[in-house]
Amino acid sequence: MKITALAPQPDWTLAIVTDDGRTGMFDVHPYLEYETFEALKDIAAFKKVSNGGYFVEWECGADLSADTIEARMKVLDNSHASVVL
């Protein structure tokens, strides 16, 4: 899976669109307790996420692979697609 679009949300989730057309939400909350992700508790830092296609990363060095995102992403049906991005 490749991430084609990414939008950070104010509730520490990521809105995701994949190369196969799926849209979904990925909750970053569970990762905020890890030292690597601690800086992302600041919403401004969280919103500075970059899309690497096969991973997402933040300025603090935290990153998540597309495989991790795909495994834990809540896929939305088409009626919610306009809400995502």
User: pLDDT digits over 35-46, tens only?
Assistant: 999 999 999 999
Cβ atoms of residues 32 and 17 within 8 Å: no
Alpha helix segments (H runs only) across the chain: 43-46, 66-72, 81-84
Domains of the chain, residue spans: 3-77
User: pLDDT digits over 4-37, tens only?
Assistant: 999 999 999 999 999 999 999 999 999 999 999 9
Distance CA 57, CA 67 (A): 14
77 band by pLDDT with thresholds 50, 70 and 90: confident
Instruction: Output the pLDDT for position 26.
Output: 98
Residue 19 DSSP code: T
Taking the model in full, what pTM does it have? Answer: 0.89
Q: How many CA atoms are closer than 13 Å to the CA of 76, on its beta-carbon side? A: 17
Average pLDDT of the residues in 63-70: 97
Residues in the chain: 85
CATH 3.30.2020 fits 3-77, yes or no: yes
